[in-house]
Structure formats: structure tokens, C-alpha cells
Amino acid sequence: MATKKVKSTSLEGAVLTDAGLSYNGALLEQIIDKCEGCERIFEIEGQKFCPSYAQPAKKWSGKVCNFATHVRATVDTSGKVKVNPLKASKRAARGR
């Protein structure tokens, strides 16, 4: 039997200010273009916010937001593995 996902987060009691959305003492900023398509987005008065992370721009400053439901992680199949130089020198000293 298939079950439908239901959003468990509600933003009741949130207050929209000029700086963003004030919710439980945190100030939620608007989402950025990379967040579009995520299932976690809530729209309040025409503005979109992420209840999972207060500053979406900083979350995306790396490669991918780990809360994003619309982006899947990719596996590096090129065969290049990053090796710790300290461990590599110890292995070379032991003769491996």
C-alpha cells in the first residue's frame, strides 16, 4: 500500500518582517534559485522560505544543500581518490 508524504512542518506563529520570516526566535531568509523544486519550501504571502535551514544561500555555498529533495548525490567514477599525504608517506616508508 502506497502512502503519501505529508509535510510535517508548519510555520504557524511565524511573523513576516522586512528582514525575513521570524519563527521561533530564528530569522528565515528567502530561498535562492538553487532551492527551486525542493519539497520542503513553504510559501507565505508570495515569498518562499525553507523551514529546514534559516540561510539557504550559505547552505548552497558548498556544492549541494544536504536538505535538498530535488538534487541527488553523484558518485565519482573517475577512479581518482584523494589520499591523505601524511598517510601516503607512512605507507611509502613501510614499503607498501
Residue with cell 605507507: 91
Q: What pTM was computed for the model?
A: 0.58
Contact 40, 54 (CB under 8 A): no
End-to-end alpha carbon distance in the chain: 54
Q: 20: pLDDT confidence band, cut at 50, 70 and 90?
A: confident
The pLDDT value given to residue 6: 46
Task: Mention every residue, 6+ apart, whose C-beta is less than 8 A from residue 35.
Answer: 41, 48, 50, 56, 60, 65, 68
Closest among 15, 71, 61 to 39, alpha carbons compared: 71
Helix or strand (DSSP H, E) at 21: strand 21-23
Tens-digit pLDDT profile for residues 28-85: 888 888 888 888 888 888 888 888 888 888 888 877 887 778 877 676 667 677 788 9
